[in-house]
């Protein structure tokens, strides 16, 4: 007897896989039927099985296999296979299929399937399906007797409440609020110019440091290309602002470091390539939290601090 919508996982910790499954349910809750069940089984050390609800369609099943292999914010390496019956693609002709992700996959937005006729197809999440050469043959996995699962259900109301909580803390809202505060602080600092130049310089320096701290702490915002570009525009504008101040007070010994004009820019020019290198190596986004979840997240965070607090002195030396 074969069972549909079965996912077999080798590697990874049970709690991490359960967290990844819950994240996926939250992510797709709007598209899932209420009261769908997902049964999570332990099958010895480093071996786990997920039985997804039979009502889960092929497309969501593919998404689930892919997400479990590339979970957001979790660091593990697994081998994963899913077995089900194809019902939605004509090319697969209602056959039993084995769903997998090869170890050399670089696209990360697709799955591969092998039919019971041993034909291999690549299904990307843009809606394309193409026959490809493959080295895997269809075999239904040897499944032990499945007992005592942990059952995770889809509850629409809870999922909706969680989504509302996330919306309260979205990057767009934070960006608008903090950028408005930064603009107001810049305007207010200009009024100190009429009273005391040194107070104005100190206020400008603190504002520059504050921008850099914002970019460093709100690291998830910088992982969105649109907001990274917005922040780069702000950092560039503040650098130009500092240059104009320095030109205006040409007789003073004030420099761009004293005005804090280089700190946010130095952080951003390092963060982007460093993040891309991290993603290339570890297949996930880096995390800047305390405590750091892994040693390499700590190294990433340390390098950002060096870029933020150390690189401006190097840049200033080159600008002389």
pLDDT band at 167 (very low <50, low <70, confident <90, very high): very low
Hey, where are the domains in the chain? 6-164, 169-319
Averaged pLDDT score across all residues of the chain: 85
Q: Quote the pLDDT of residue 61.
A: 95
Distance between CA atoms of residues 114 and 95, nearest Å: 10
pLDDT band at 251 (very low <50, low <70, confident <90, very high): low
Q: Quote the pLDDT of residue 319.
A: 57
User: The pTM is what?
Assistant: 0.52
Q: For the chain, what percent of residues have pLDDT higher than 90? A: 38
From residue 245, alpha-carbon distances to 84, 203, 272, 300 in Å are 66, 13, 28, 34
pLDDT digits (tens, 9 = 90+) for 14-41: 999 999 999 999 888 878 888 899 999 9
pLDDT band at 254 (very low <50, low <70, confident <90, very high): confident
Q: Give me 243's structure tokens.
A: 């240059």
pLDDT digits (tens, 9 = 90+) for 102-145: 988 888 889 999 999 999 999 998 778 999 988 799 998 888 77
Q: Omega before 6 cis (within 30°)? A: no
- pLDDT at residue 168 is higher than 50: no
pLDDT, greater one: 206 or 291: 206
pLDDT, greater one: 67 or 311: 67
pLDDT, greater one: 58 or 251: 58
pLDDT, greater one: 83 or 185: 83
- pLDDT at residue 158 is higher than 60: no
Q: Quote the pLDDT of residue 1.
A: 60
Query: Which range among 159-168, 267-276, 292-301 shows the weakest confidence by mean pLDDT?
Result: 159-168
Mean pLDDT for 299-308 is 91
Residue 118, CB-side half-sphere exposure with 13 Å CA sphere: 4
């Amino acid at each position: 007897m074969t069972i549909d919508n079965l996912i077999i996982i080798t590697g990874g910790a049970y709690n991490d896989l359960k967290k990844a499954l819950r994240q996926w349910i939250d992510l797709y809750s709007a598209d899932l039927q209420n009261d769908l069940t997902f049964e999570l089984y332990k099958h010895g050390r480093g071996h786990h099985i997920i039985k997804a609800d039979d009502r889960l369609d092929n497309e969501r099943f593919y998404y689930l296999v892919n997400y479990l292999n590339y979970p957001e914010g979790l660091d593990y390496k697994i081998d994963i296979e899913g077995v089900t019956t194809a019902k939605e693609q004509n090319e697969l002709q209602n056959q039993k299929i084995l769903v997998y992700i090869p170890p050399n996959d670089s696209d990360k937005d697709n799955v591969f399937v092998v039919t019971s006729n041993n034909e291999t197809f690549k299904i990307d999440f843009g809606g394309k399906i193409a026959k490809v050469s493959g080295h895997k043959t269809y075999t239904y996995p040897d499944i032990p007797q499945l007992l005592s699962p942990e059952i995770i259900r889809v509850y629409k109301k809870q999922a909706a409440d969680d989504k509302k909580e996330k919306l309260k803390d979205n990057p767009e809202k934070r960006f608008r609020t903090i950028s408005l505060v930064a603009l107001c602080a810049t305007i207010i600092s200009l009024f100190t110019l009429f009273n005391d130049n040194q107070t104005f310089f100190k206020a400008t320096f603190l504002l520059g440091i504050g921008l850099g701290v914002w970019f460093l702490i709100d690291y998830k915002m910088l992982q969105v290309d649109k907001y990274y570009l917005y922040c780069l525009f702000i950092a560039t504008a503040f650098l130009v602002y500092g240059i104009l101040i320095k030109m205006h007070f040409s007789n003073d010994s004030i420099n761009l470091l004293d005005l804090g004009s280089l700190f946010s820019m130095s952080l951003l020019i390092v963060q982007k390539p460093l993040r891309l290198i991290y993603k290339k190596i570890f297949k996930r986004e880096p995390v800047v939290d305390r405590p750091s979840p892994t040693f390499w997240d700590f190294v990433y965070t340390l390098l950002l601090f060096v870029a933020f607090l150390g690189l401006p002195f190097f840049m200033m030396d080159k600008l002389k």
